[in-house]
């Protein structure tokens, strides 16, 4: 399930493969794939050259030479895959972009939670290729790789909700999902079910450091591919960070820090993997 490290891996591959290339044609077949406006409006991107690809949290933003930006979110099961025109079309392929001299980019999404939409910056400084200037992304908190201890201190102060619930709330901090929230809490030695407002300054500092180090290590490993094999990079390859997971999906297995079994906490419909000994 793509979170910040997976989306960042895809972003870097997109830049490498398609930046500087002209979009010759595109087709959208999925009924739910473009749902914020008419799918035909995507035609505005035809003949545009891709300048860069940005990211804020789990959102990808394609910037073109003229014309609106294209925003993509993979949600639960979305994949962006590089392909050649003759390649067999995978089931649940909902959109195909064809670039001059760079082959195709295909959007595949069995559960159809993912989406594509066009967006234009609210204020339009021509040189700004900043995802955060897009009104549809304005509700997002700071990107998890940019968030400071001060950001988190303000966002968590007085909150009774569990720390993990706040970490995966994109309005608080953008990019963290179920897997990395657990890994970050373990690395920061904080229980995910602690009230967000109970963290002191030392806790917050550990949380920010853990966030950065876990996400950067996961990017270096090209993301996490779980047993369901759902996440793939642009070339269809798996990530490797799942091999470095310390708690996520490891209920009953020994904690990497102390050897005691990892537990699975549940509250409501949510759950978290935690070491009851290493995290407090």
Partner DNA sequence: CGATTATCCTGTGCGC
Partner DNA sequence: TGCGCACAGGATAATC
Residues at the interface with DNA (CB under 7 A): 1, 3, 32, 57-59, 73, 75-76, 91-92, 110-113, 139, 159-162, 165, 168, 170, 177-179, 196, 227-228, 267-269, 271
> Which residues is 27 bridged to in the sheet?
96
Q: How far is the CB of 21 from DNA (least distance, A)?
A: 27
In the bound state with DNA, the residue whose beta carbon lies nearer, of 224 and 279, is 224
- Nearest-CA neighbor of 3 among 245, 257, 251, 274? 245
Q: How far is the CB of 246 from DNA (least distance, A)?
A: 15
Q: How far is the CB of 166 from DNA (least distance, A)?
A: 7
| 258 class by beta-carbon count within 10 Å (0-12 exposed, 13-18 middle, 19+ buried) | exposed
- Nearest-CA neighbor of 101 among 79, 80, 85? 85
Q: How far is the CB of 160 from DNA (least distance, A)?
A: 4
In the bound state with DNA, the residue whose beta carbon lies nearer, of 85 and 158, is 158
Q: How far is the CB of 168 from DNA (least distance, A)?
A: 5
**Residue 51: count of CB within 10 angstroms of its CB:** 15
DSSP tally for the chain: helices H, then strands E: 5, 10
d(CA 66, CA 198): 48
In the bound state with DNA, the residue whose beta carbon lies nearer, of 91 and 126, is 91
In the bound state with DNA, the residue whose beta carbon lies nearer, of 23 and 172, is 172
**Residue 4: count of CB within 10 angstroms of its CB:** 26
Asked if residue 55 lies in contact with residue 131, where contact means CB atoms within 8 angstroms, the answer is yes
Q: How far is the CB of 177 from DNA (least distance, A)?
A: 3
In the bound state with DNA, the residue whose beta carbon lies nearer, of 47 and 193, is 193
Residue 186 φ/ψ, nearest 5 degrees: -65, -45
In the bound state with DNA, the residue whose beta carbon lies nearer, of 105 and 173, is 173
d(CA 274, CA 191): 7
């Amino acid at each position: 399930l793509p979170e910040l490290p997976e989306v960042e891996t895809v972003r870097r591959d997109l830049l490498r493969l398609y930046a500087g290339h002209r979009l010759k044609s595109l087709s959208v077949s999925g009924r739910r794939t473009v749902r914020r406006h008419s799918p035909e409006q995507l035609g505005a991107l035809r003949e545009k050259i891709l300048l860069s690809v940005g990211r804020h949290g789990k959102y990808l933003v394609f910037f073109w030479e003229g014309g609106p930006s294209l925003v993509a979110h993979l949600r639960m099961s979305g994949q962006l895959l590089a392909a050649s025109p003759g390649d067999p079309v995978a089931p649940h392929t909902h959109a195909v972009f064809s670039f001059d001299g760079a082959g195709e980019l295909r959007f595949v999404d069995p559960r159809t939670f993912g989406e594509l939409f066009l967006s234009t910056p609210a204020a339009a400084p021509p040189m700004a290729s900043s995802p955060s200037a897009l009104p549809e992304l304005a509700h997002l908190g700071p990107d998890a790789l940019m968030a400071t201890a001060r950001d988190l201190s303000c966002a968590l102060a007085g909150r009774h909700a569990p720390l993990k619930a706040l970490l995966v709330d994109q309005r608080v901090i953008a990019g963290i999902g179920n897997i990395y929230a657990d890994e970050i809490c373990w690395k920061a030695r904080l229980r995910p079910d602690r009230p967000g407002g109970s963290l002191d300054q030392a806790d917050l500092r550990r949380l920010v450091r853990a966030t950065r180090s876990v996400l950067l290590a996961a990017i270096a490993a090209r993301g996490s591919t779980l047993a369901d094999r759902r996440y793939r990079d642009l070339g269809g390859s798996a990530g490797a960070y799942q091999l470095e997971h310390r708690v996520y999906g490891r209920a009953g297995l020994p904690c990497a820090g102390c050897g005691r079994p990892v537990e699975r906490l549940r509250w409501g419909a949510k759950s978290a993997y935690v070491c009851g000994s290493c995290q407090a």
